[in-house]
Structure 1
Amino acid sequence: MRILIIGTGGTIASARTEKGYKAALSADEILEVAGIKKRNGLIIETEDILNLDSTLIQPEDWVTIGEAVFRNLSDYDGIVITHGTDTLAYTSSALSFMLRNVPIPVVLTGSMLPITEPKSDAPRNLRTALTFASKGFPGIYVAFMDKIMLGTRVSKVHSLGLNAFQSINYPDIAYVKGGELKVLHRPEVPQGEVIFDPLLDPNVVHIRLTPGLSPEVFSSIGEWSHGIVLEGYGAGGIPYRKRNLLKAVERVAGEKPVVMTTQAVYGGVDLTRYEVGRRALEAGIIPAGDMTKEATLTKLMWALGHTADVAEVREIMERNIAGEITPRG
């Protein structure tokens, strides 16, 4: 059983410097500090492609990571990607759209405490990722605090706590205890030839709806961006009283895709529930359903990488591609 670890940096690879923690360690060094042998029932090999704090990760880096995964798929039984936690959920979602029908487990993991610090969670998370990567479940996943979660359903919900990630609107896939894997939910197994489709348009803006948001600001953003993710309240809707944001949204949505997600963690968007939501639908808003904010943003970038036609983007956004959205009906 051969497993590849792809290193990209992050807290898991960080060491203390005069200016704070900074990604510095290679994947080999991480394994050594974690006390994980490269011949321990698994044959573990490593490849370092980046060494960045994940705050610095950009869409172009998702392509770099995707390329590394794609070129190694046929040579390994599983792949583990070590990554910083701040943008890990964006990377796992982006990879899920770019890499489809992956025939082996591809598992992202990281840590909230650097591997160089006492009581770091890095060894625990690495072992969880390696255990799952050796079990042959095809697809893209995230391993954190003994849990395995689908890559398109993960969000970071705590900035400091060790149990920083949760699966949103979707069950956990499995958990690992004492080196044993307990499967909780089996996602649909990808079928067909592996597809690496890295076309992305990063000119997408995420706007959080707040009381008093200026229609003029929204219109200005709509002029130069290629698409907008609007993070609304609750089940979704656009205000039109006093400041008529709805009219501004309607003008932009006629030319460019405007996708609505929600500030609520669970439940997703249902624009048919309230009058303000139905008005938003009539204005041309594309509902994100129960997708995470991370999946919504990366999917819109990926959709726009293939077409600028609003109707075609709508069809892509409403179609389940990698388990990111619960189909309607």
Structure 2
Amino acid sequence: MSRNILIINTGGTLSSVMKESGLAPGLSTQDMKRELHVVSGDINFEIEDFMAVDSANIFPEDWSKLAEHIGKLRNDYDGIVVIHGTDTLAYTSSMLSFMLQNINIPVVITGSQLSITNPIADAMENLRCAIHMAASGRAGVFVAFNRKVMLGCRASKVRSLSFDAFESINYPNVAEISSLGMNIDDSTIPVRNGVFHLENNYSTEVCMLKMFPGIHRSLVESIAAQGYKGLYIEAFGIGGMPFLKHDFISTIEKVIADGMTVVVGTQCRYEGSKMDVYETGKRALESGVLQAQDMTSEAALTKLMWILGKTSNPSEIKDYFSLNIAGELKNY
């Protein structure tokens, strides 16, 4: 039985052309149709332009609109592919993982490091992978890149120029393509636990801060004074923060007492945080921070935005953040 796939173009390098100001999205869906027939095989597809922007110009309201659009079309197609710029692709795939609760079809986000117009580009292979994953019948939100498929909330861009730009962080690949074809590991795909429902509310009153030696607590005070409701901190090592000299942790405790939600993860790409080992982490936990565990920074930040769009109750926020919603978190 032939599968029907919708391809949604949002722009990015894959659909870019050279302009006077540099590479910028410029190819329409009609320009790409002929090339796409080469990689789609016997899969039927339709393609539409949703927007045409560099992914640096993707904002949370675009995530919400895209999630709503996918939600409306989910019963009209067997799968959906989203063409997206690589720079913020992992943020989009993470947020869609939370917004598209129990999605009943595959939603596969992909992009490329070179435009589809370039004869040596990675665009065609990435689209081939994405289209065939979208036709697989495996429900969920995924990222397809460099002949592998990753869970949407586990993907992260780890290389700026290489075709192997994305990796699945602290989680196995969902699928890989080799000379044997596409091998899908069904054990890596979270089980749907209910009917689909769109949850595309979010909060933009969230900030991210990376720790560095000498960081001053006044930065946190300034963030709180500007009205931010949530803060995600990439801390040292397995989650350490200073409490000598500039007593960073006591300031964190104060802003939490005043109503801010503070989540702490690690700057390290792999293996996650474990804040109950050292004093610098234990003190932070005692101050009331939530721990990101093995989540990517993209997933932790977007999850915080998503949760604060649902509730302002500290107890509910804590419960939601500790819950493994889309495969972003191990079951600790």
Q: TM-score, normalised by structure 1?
A: 0.96
Report the alpha carbon displacement of residue 49 of structure 1 after superposing the two structures with TM.
0.9
Question: Separation in 1 of the partners of 2:184 and 2:214?
Answer: 47
What one-letter code is carried by the residue in structure 1 that aligns with 2:237? G
1:1-329 maps to which residues of 2 (within 5 A)? 1-32=3-34, 34=35, 36-37=37-38, 40-177=41-178, 180-186=181-187, 187-223=189-225, 224-254=227-257, 255-328=259-332
What one-letter code is carried by the residue in structure 1 that aligns with 2:77? Y
CA contact (8 A) 1:62 1:95 kept: yes
Question: Separation in 2 of the partners of 1:42 and 1:185?
Answer: 22
Question: Separation in 1 of the partners of 2:33 and 2:263?
Answer: 41
Report the alpha carbon displacement of residue 153 of structure 1 after superposing the two structures with TM.
0.3
What one-letter code is carried by the residue in structure 2 that aligns with 1:314? K
Report the alpha carbon displacement of residue 179 of structure 1 after superposing the two structures with TM.
8.2
The unaligned stretches of length 5 or more in structure 1 are: none
The alignment partner of 1:21 has SS state of strand
Identity %: 43
The alignment partner of 1:75 has SS state of coil
In structure 2, the CA distance between the partners of 1:35 and 1:318, relative to structure 1 (3 Å rule), is: closer
Report the alpha carbon displacement of residue 135 of structure 1 after superposing the two structures with TM.
1.0
Report the alpha carbon displacement of residue 184 of structure 1 after superposing the two structures with TM.
3.1
CA contact (8 A) 2:39 2:124 kept: no
What one-letter code is carried by the residue in structure 1 that aligns with 2:136? K
The unaligned stretches of length 5 or more in structure 2 are: none
CA offsets per residue over residues 251-282 of structure 1, 9 Å max, x none?
Answer: 01221100001100001111111111110000
In structure 2, the CA distance between the partners of 1:68 and 1:38, relative to structure 1 (3 Å rule), is: farther
CA contact (8 A) 1:38 1:44 kept: no
CA offsets per residue over residues 272-311 of structure 1, 9 Å max, x none?
Answer: 1111111000011100010000000000000000112222
In structure 2, the CA distance between the partners of 1:82 and 1:63, relative to structure 1 (3 Å rule), is: same
Question: Separation in 1 of the partners of 2:118 and 2:180?
Answer: 23
CA contact (8 A) 1:31 1:37 kept: no
Question: Separation in 2 of the partners of 1:171 and 1:89?
Answer: 16
CA offsets per residue over residues 102-139 of structure 1, 9 Å max, x none?
Answer: 11111000001111223110001000111111111000
The alignment partner of 2:75 has SS state of helix
Q: TM-score, normalised by structure 2?
A: 0.95
Question: Separation in 2 of the partners of 1:16 and 1:282?
Answer: 53
In structure 2, the CA distance between the partners of 1:134 and 1:324, relative to structure 1 (3 Å rule), is: same
Question: Separation in 1 of the partners of 2:292 and 2:208?
Answer: 13
The alignment partner of 1:31 has SS state of helix
User: What value does the CA root-mean-square deviation take over the aligned residues?
Assistant: 1.4
Report the alpha carbon displacement of residue 185 of structure 1 after superposing the two structures with TM.
4.7
Question: Separation in 1 of the partners of 2:40 and 2:118?
Answer: 25
The alignment partner of 1:63 has SS state of helix
CA contact (8 A) 2:90 2:157 kept: yes
Question: Separation in 1 of the partners of 2:20 and 2:200?
Answer: 38
